[in-house]
Chains A and B, each alone.
Chain A
Amino acid sequence: MSATAELNMVEAITKGLGQLLEEDPDAILLGEDIGRNGGVFRATAGLQERFGEDRVVDTPLSEAGFVGAAIGMCLVGLHPVVEIQFDAFVYPAFEQLVSQAGRFRWRTRGAYGLPLVVRLPYGGGTRAPELHSDSPETLFSHMPGLRVVVPSDPLSAGELLLAATRCGDPVVFLEPKRMYRRGRQLLPAKFVPGDLDHAVVVRPGEDLTVIAYGAMVDVAEGAAERLQEEGVSTRVLDLRSIYPLDRESILAAAEETGRVLVVHEAARHCGVAAEVAALLQEEAADVLLAPTLRVTGMDMPFPLSQNEDDALPTVERVLAAAHTMLEY
């Protein structure tokens, strides 16, 4: 899989992990069922065969244990990339991430960071059972010391994953699993580590900006397409980094389009959109032509599959909010 090829997101992640294991002898993968089974999403398919059982390690069913162990591994020079099987199964490891991993650099007075990446397939839209569709990014971006990164397509998945493994601080890397097999992209023979610090304008526009990340970039683009038909030029800004936020790109969107709408799947209360709206309120209120609206998940457990479409932001919901803003 080294030559240029059209890959979907999950294949791009496999490719990125393979490249990492090849280039970095200290890299090690940990997780449940990631070896022979190749992970429940096949994100590590074939990697144990290629790199051996000491580098692609099946762990027991103990998220707190293996995320904690990954912290210890960092101390002796390893670069662990941990797979959490599904969104909600990161909760047992929450303690290790927020009270340990995120505080390590601070506890060494800035001297040492942990080269730890925790991969987290997340989000709804896959008709999965309870607790297989959560969007927990806000939890990690609220707690100090962690970077929170979300790719939106195959290329960003590969590039940001490699960047995450080298950034020197612990990263919670959320993979929008509903995009795993949605669409292919021509990818380079080797990924160049991406830019963790900057959001990307995936569609230029002048009248309105829709800020999104993960699977919601697709929804934002769908809405932008429809708005185009109405003669509204819509910028789509893919955040990619949830913590820290790319303040400049957000403020530029306010300055250049005057209207900023934020979309995410996670619950609204204290979500990323609230943070963006607060930033705009504090630093760009004078240039805004309309208040910022949020199109988000609901403040409730993610519904069982029959009702998941009711809770997920859709093109229609984004359009409705956009119209409200345009008519303000």
Chain B
Amino acid sequence: MLTELSSFSRELALQLFTAMARLRAFDERAVILQHQGRIGTYPTFYGEEAVQAASVWALPRQDWLFPTYRQSAVVTLRGCPPLVPLLMWRGHPGGWHDVMEYRVAPICVPVATNLPHAVGAAWGAKLRHQELVALAYGGDGSTSAGDFHEACNLAGLVGAPVIFLITNNQWAISTPVSKQTKIRRVADKAAAYGIPGVRVDAFDVFACYQAVREAAARARAGEGPTLIEAIGYRLGPHATADEPSLYRDLQADRLWEPMEPLRRTQMALVAAGLASEAELDQIRADSVEELRDIGDSVDAYPPVTIEEIAATVHRETPWGLRPDRLREPSWGARGGAVG
């Protein structure tokens, strides 16, 4: 069962539901666009809408988020048009969102590399007496990486107001968490860094919301970092290019399907008398409708030239990246490019 809803106002509950519905609509549309060849390989987050929506909603907008490839759409919950992350998966530089505007760092593809960034942002804010919390996302697999250890250790040491939100979906591509680490509870890793580790149901948006709120309150009270292990299950493939039938028992997977969080949240809201079925169906339909023409927008987005991209690498573009030298320079280039 989901968390007791009595402490949630109808307004907040609906906001969380709407955020989940919008993430779901994005994810489903992205998978379709990938199948249509309009975007490239796409890491779906189907089943992780609850923990992702909760994490954004539990923090005020001034707090920083540090996503991985798995949270490519959380920035849309901070007001970024969904077109932007879709362009990322299309391989268009328009996919890099405005980092300062949304206070969401660029997605990090190499696993665990984002975790130390969050520590530094939180620690730095503390040094500058800014009231600011940073939240970094990770997966069960990320907790095997050196950067995870270094981030947690440093955060604990300096008391950084940071939250490590580790979604334990029990798989890192084909590697089950049992082959990732000997520890049974990822949250227990926190003990090694002298920081609290808590566990929460990743499918329960309300529990996740509360867990992040509590961690943020601790952080703001000067009590330092928290490691949250959100336990879930990767309901989909690792990414569109992945073939889970090669390595996991699809029959057993089906046992997890009832945990699918959007439907479950809907049922809980209706049961608690906070909303009607029809009203929630409407929110879902609106979320889908919002993206109706997004595929066309993706297709129609004007291409960028390599010369333009080259000018974005440094503040002052070095000569080798200037348009006349980007391709083959030659001896004749002293007086003008040849070839």
Chain A residues near B (Cβ < 8 Å) = 32-33, 35-38, 40, 58, 60-62, 64-65, 88-89, 91-92, 127-132, 268-269, 291, 293-295, 298-301, 303-308, 310-311, 317, 320-321, 323-324, 328
Contacts and interface: CB of A to CB of B under 8 A. Distances in A.
A304 B306 contact: no
Interface residues of B, number: 48
B95 A62 contact: no
10 contacts: A33-B175, A61-B142, A62-B145, A64-B146, A65-B146, A129-B40, A291-B330, A304-B95, A306-B91, A320-B339
B309 interface: yes
B110 A310 contact: no
B142 A298 contact: no
Given A36-B247, A61-B112, 6 more contacts: A58-B175, A88-B109, A300-B309, A303-B306, A306-B304, A307-B303
A60 B180 contact: yes
B283 interface: no
A291 B305 CA distance: 30
5 closest A-B pairs by CB: A305-B91, A37-B174, A310-B306, A60-B144, A324-B339
B117 interface: no
A226 to B, nearest CB: 15
A25 B318 CA distance: 52
Nearest to A310: B306
B60 interface: no
Nearest to B337: A324
Interface string B103-124: 0000001111000000000000
Contacts of B339: 293, 320-321, 323-324
A89 B91 CA distance: 19
Contacts of A64: 146
Given A61-B111, A61-B141, A268-B320, A304 B92 contact: yes
A308 to B, nearest CB: 7
Contacts of A128: 40-41
Contacts of B310: 298, 300
Given A58-B175, A60-B179, A294 B328 contact: yes
Contacts of A324: 328, 330, 332, 338-339
B282 interface: no
Interface in B283-321: 303-306, 309-310, 313, 318, 320-321
Nearest to B37: A127
A61 B175 contact: yes
Contacts of B32: none
A60 B179 CA distance: 7
Contact of A36 (B95, B110, B174, B320): B174
Contact of B246 (A32, A37, A62, A65): A37
B173 interface: yes
Q: Select the residue from A64, A293, A310, A320 with max chain B CB neighbours within 10 A.
A: A310
B89 interface: yes
Given A301-B313, A324-B339, A92 B91 contact: no
A61 B180 contact: yes
Nearest to A95: B146
Contact of B313 (A40, A300, A304): A300
Contacts of A306: 90-93, 303-304
B175 A60 contact: yes
B110 A305 contact: no
Contacts of B272: none
A93 to B, nearest CB: 10
Contacts of A36: 174, 246-247
Given A128-B41, A324-B332, A304 B141 contact: no
Interface string B33-51: 0000000110000000000
A321 B175 contact: no
Contacts of A269: 320
Contacts of A60: 141, 144, 175, 179-181
Contacts of B90: 305-306
Contacts of B175: 32-33, 58, 60-61
Contacts of A35: 174
A88 B328 contact: no
Given A37-B173, A306-B92, A300 B321 contact: yes
A61 B180 CA distance: 7
B109 A298 contact: no
A311 B326 CA distance: 9
Contacts of B145: 61-62, 92
A268 B107 CA distance: 27
Nearest to A309: B306
B110 A291 contact: no
B317 to A, nearest CB: 10
Nearest to B139: A61
Nearest to B72: A129
B327 interface: yes
A35 B247 CA distance: 9
Contact of B91 (A88, A268, A295, A308): A308
A127 B34 CA distance: 12
Contacts of B327: 317
A130 B179 CA distance: 27
A37 B304 CA distance: 37
